[in-house]
Structure 1
Amino acid sequence: MGMRARHFVKPTAAVLAMMPLLAGCNVSQSSSSTKASTTDYTIRMYAGGFTPIKPTKLNPDPPTALQTLAKQYEKIHPNIKIKFVTEPLALGTTYNDYAGWLTTQGDAGTAPDIVWDQWLQVNGGFVPKGFFTNLAPYLKQPDPYVSGNKHWGDLFNPVFQQELTNQDGSILAIDGDYVDAALVYNKSIFKKVGIKTLPTTFADLTSDLMKIKQAGFIPLAYDLSDQTGTSWWERMAATEFLQPDIAKFNVDHQTSTLSPLDYAVGIEWGYIQMTNPRYAEVWKLLKQFSNTWDSGSTQITNSPPAAGNSLVSSLQLVAQGKAAVAWAASSSIPWLNNSGFSKVYGVLPFPVITKATSSYSANLDVQAVVGGPNGNFQYFVPTQKANHTLTPDKLKWVINWLQFIATPQNSAKVVDQVGGTVPTMVGAKATNKDLLTLIPTKKVPLSVGSFNLDLGAQATDDLIRLVQAYITNQLSYDAFASQFDTKLQNAAAAWAAQNNVDLSKYKTK
């Protein structure tokens, strides 16, 4: 997708001293739409993975771009101070840990003025309605930091803007980067076995992988060690095969992501069950696909090598020329570049599963249902109910600060400093060129995957162990299917009981 250049106003005398850091993203004085503040405000922001922190031995080069931008902003607006919240960085590693912290803060009216969150979870109902401010009206206003801009929303990728928009037209987040899971391949191995054209269909991919296997290389270093690889596969294949059924259990009528209620209904009434041949095909095809993997898939992780991790890194195997392909998150790819392997690998989207592979195919490109605008540059503004300090006047300045960091050039500085995701604002120049081909240019299909239901840690672990046992021939398909269905049914029933939902009233068969 082409990125068109934008022109920016010449900076005023107030910001000439900051020209080296603002090159390409010139800032107008104070803000043409917001008069100088007569009140001192401190804007508290939790910036997720872009949170500026002090260097440590484990993290000697933390992100600093937002801190630099904050200093620039404070010089332009002396009455405004930007303070970065770091408490969530010390929480557990799961989204539920963070969501629990944020909900607790909101219940007390002490949520930060700006927070990172996952729009999929927020739009899907994991955060109480009314917790976040509708930003749609502000996106219709000009961004005062971009010359000639009439609507701030025009600066954002239109495909992702469509995804972020709720049915009622509300937009709760601004989003400026893209994360994906892609096939990372070793260029030398592909050349040695004579693969001249990259696969675009699943049938081509499996044929190429078998050719690689016959040549003595590990075809695909597949991560079956935890939920990651399995969740990615289910999301892509289920989205493809369940197309005729989705409308029957999308009772919340979502347009971008199904809600927990939708998943519970889909499980309760047999759409997300092995008794549905379309859903069963997801796991039968995974079993066939496993013929092209390394036999040690339960000992392979798609994460880069890390101290204390006993699992073999799939990326390391590709970099060393032992494996031809790995399925990895884009956030892991900077490891290849930083380790001197930038010329060794290439990146390609996961190919389309066509009818040549399965009669249940809808011939959809489902690459983006795993990736998407789900990275670190997802920022929400709590309502005054969740943040008692957020008066209408302060809210104007919170939005103004967001407009300052969410220009194409400033957002690119923030995103590119960390790497692993791609800046997506119109006109932003990405340094990670390998990932640009993964950004979708068409509407992304509604994603389906049972692991998106809040199953709970134990249920999720049990399901993963079942998949591992099935793929490694410790369970027959019938035994796997029966136990998997039972786990899903129990998880849906537990969710319904916890949320006082009567699933019987949603019967659609």
Structure 2
Amino acid sequence: MPEATQAPAAAGTKKTIKHYLQGLTPRERTADDAVDPPKYANTLKAQYEEAHPGVTIEFVPNLAQGYEEWLVTQMSGGTSPEIVWYQRGYISRDYNKGWFVNLDPYLAEPDTYVPDNKTWKEIFQPPVIESGKAPDGHIYMITGDIVGTGFFYNQDMFDKLGLKVPETWKEFEVVEKAIKDSGVTPISISFDLSGGTQLWGSWSTRIIQDVMYDKKMGMIKGTNQPVPRTWKPGENLPQPVMVKAIVEKRYGATDPEFKEMLKILKDWSQWFVDSFWAFPNTDVYKLWANGQAAMTWQGSWMNKTVLNDPLIKFKYGVLPKIPQITTETSQFGGIDFPAMAGVGGVFQYAIAAEAEKRGNLNETIDWMRFITAPKNLIALLNDHGGFAPGTVDTTGADPTLAVYTDMMVKYGTERMEPFDSMLTREFVDTMWNELQQFLAGQMQLDAFATTLQGQMEAAAKSLADEHPEWVK
């Protein structure tokens, strides 16, 4: 393990670096935990503080909900921790607010915790570190991991019903019907507004949209050339491109492709758990683990839990890909789904501008270099068990995560900027609320699409007024 070097803090001074670690926050096990929670950050903290007696590392308790509202309040009020967890796509939205430190100069310097290192930046895989880049070309966030998702299925149940892993959407529907006819819920999923729609609603709309718009990607981008998938969601059609496309009416919620996406999602929802729009998102995994649902769509962050959960009494597997929507299902079908995966999961950290104002920036940078040294980072991620390292050196990484990263490498990720960061926070909050109403039968498709179109255009105009260079 890389040893901590001498502290950059001046002798006689004592500085505190507060770090919001999100899912890596160390804590004690509770009665609700199926497996041991992360704790390894405490080991790194102890090692660092021993070598740096002038620095104290303080972990901010992880919030169960309301993090984004809390973060905005902290950032706006100048009271944020030195290091905050930050969603990759939000950088485009917030980089010009003066909240974060431009990390380019520091990434160009050596990471002294990595032997023979010339620049801190080179320890990361290029798509990973580049994911923290804003439209102004500067990197404001350190990304250190790769995240994926997969459809977990009850293999014993499939075998009992004589079902095979589906390759196409039509085959998927046959499987789902057979499961439901047997009296079991086909898919455990939630579209509640305390986190369900924000997760599964986001995932499903994004990947279906990518397929529906496949032949129009070049037109939306304004190049009329094919747009490839990459490891970074939205890399080739980022926020500025999408804003311009909406303003110029090359993309919108009333497009036939967009409405087809909504129709497919609505049709699919018949196989979800009953009253999925009100089903607690915290119960989604439990329903599957208890054998009451045949499938569930989970993130790689659940990998450790699934592997070690004593509740699971059956053999299970992960679908090698999400079944393809062919032209038999939709005129816009015909290509495989992108992986719902990408660079940046639990290890996405931005350094608050307040760190410099408090005189803690050098110490904050040094701590980040220490925990991103590959041996330290990999040990930290392995302790969590749900994320693959985004470093060039992956020695010692957990091999059970390969199923998720393999899908990303093979199928890429969605090409458009995710809805969560495509426009404004107000827009996406409203969209998820209305999507839930639509899926629950409280709004008709055309009414939803028309309403969303107006909101989309208003949000795009607001951003275009704020960034006129985006629509030149």
Q: CA deviation at 1:334?
A: 4.6
Alpha-carbon distance change, 129 to 294 in structure 1, aligned in 2, over 3 angstroms: closer
Q: CA deviation at 1:362?
A: 6.5
Q: Find the counterpart in structure 2 of residue 363 from structure 1.
A: 335
Judge conservation of contact 2:244–2:464 (CA < 8 Å) in 1.
Answer: no
Among 276, 289, 298, the residue aligned to 1:319: 289
The answer as to 2:123 corresponding to 1:143 is no
Q: 3-state SS of the aligned residue for 1:128?
A: helix
TM-score under structure 1 length normalisation: 0.73
Aligned-pair Cα RMSD in Å: 3.9
Question: How many angstroms apart in 2 are the aligned matches of 1:222 and 1:257?
Answer: 28
Q: Which runs of 5+ in 2 are unaligned?
A: 228-233
Among 271, 277, 300, the residue aligned to 1:330: 300
Give the aligned residue type for 1:112.
Answer: P
Question: How many angstroms apart in 1 are the aligned matches of 2:16 and 2:347?
Answer: 21
Question: How many angstroms apart in 2 are the aligned matches of 1:57 and 1:213?
Answer: 32
Listed as ranges, the matches of 1:12-51 within 5 Å are: 25-27=1-3, 30=5, 37-38=10-11, 40=13, 41-51=15-25
Among 45, 65, 72, the residue aligned to 2:40: 65
Alpha-carbon distance change, 448 to 362 in structure 1, aligned in 2, over 3 angstroms: farther
Question: How many angstroms apart in 2 are the aligned matches of 1:44 and 1:446?
Answer: 35
Q: CA deviation at 1:125?
A: 1.4
Alpha-carbon distance change, 272 to 67 in structure 1, aligned in 2, over 3 angstroms: same
Q: CA deviation at 1:412?
A: 2.8
Residues 231-274 of structure 1, C-alpha deviations (whole Å, 9 max, x = no match): 221111112222444565669x9736743893596288372223
Residues 121-157 of structure 1, C-alpha deviations (whole Å, 9 max, x = no match): 11x2134354322334433443322334444334324
Give the aligned residue type for 1:259.
Answer: Q
TM-score under structure 2 length normalisation: 0.78
Q: CA deviation at 1:411?
A: 1.8
Q: 3-state SS of the aligned residue for 2:151?
A: strand
Question: How many angstroms apart in 2 are the aligned matches of 1:231 and 1:340?
Answer: 28
Taking every aligned residue pair, what percent have the same amino acid on both sides?
Answer: 27
Residues 462-504 of structure 1, C-alpha deviations (whole Å, 9 max, x = no match): 33112221xxxx66xxx3222342144136426745x683899
| Most deviating of 451-460 and 52-61 | 52-61
| Most deviating of 235-244 and 152-161 | 152-161
Question: How many angstroms apart in 2 are the aligned matches of 1:102 and 1:244?
Answer: 43
Judge conservation of contact 2:304–2:385 (CA < 8 Å) in 1.
Answer: yes
Give the aligned residue type for 2:465.
Answer: V
Give the aligned residue type for 1:186.
Answer: N
Q: CA deviation at 1:168?
A: 5.0
Judge conservation of contact 2:88–2:132 (CA < 8 Å) in 1.
Answer: yes
Judge conservation of contact 1:451–1:460 (CA < 8 Å) in 2.
Answer: no
Question: How many angstroms apart in 2 are the aligned matches of 1:396 and 1:130?
Answer: 18
Q: Which runs of 5+ in 1 are unaligned?
A: 1-24, 306-312
Question: How many angstroms apart in 2 are the aligned matches of 1:356 and 1:64?
Answer: 49
Alpha-carbon distance change, 257 to 417 in structure 1, aligned in 2, over 3 angstroms: farther
Give the aligned residue type for 2:55.
Answer: I
The answer as to 2:472 corresponding to 1:501 is no
**Based on CA coordinates, which of the two structures has the bigger radius of gyration?**
1
Judge conservation of contact 1:180–1:372 (CA < 8 Å) in 2.
Answer: yes
Alpha-carbon distance change, 99 to 395 in structure 1, aligned in 2, over 3 angstroms: closer
Judge conservation of contact 2:2–2:373 (CA < 8 Å) in 1.
Answer: no
Judge conservation of contact 2:259–2:445 (CA < 8 Å) in 1.
Answer: no
Listed as ranges, the matches of 1:374-393 within 5 Å are: 374-383=344-353, 387-390=356-359
Question: How many angstroms apart in 2 are the aligned matches of 1:343 and 1:291?
Answer: 25
The answer as to 2:252 corresponding to 1:272 is yes
Question: How many angstroms apart in 2 are the aligned matches of 1:229 and 1:177?
Answer: 21
Judge conservation of contact 1:116–1:377 (CA < 8 Å) in 2.
Answer: yes
Q: CA deviation at 1:380?
A: 1.4
Q: Find the counterpart in structure 1 of residue 437 from structure 2.
A: 465
Alpha-carbon distance change, 411 to 257 in structure 1, aligned in 2, over 3 angstroms: farther
Q: CA deviation at 1:378?
A: 1.1
Q: CA deviation at 1:388?
A: 0.7
Q: CA deviation at 1:222?
A: 3.7
Q: Find the counterpart in structure 2 of residue 221 from structure 1.
A: 188
Q: Find the counterpart in structure 2 of residue 282 from structure 1.
A: 261
Q: Find the counterpart in structure 1 of residue 142 from structure 2.
A: 174
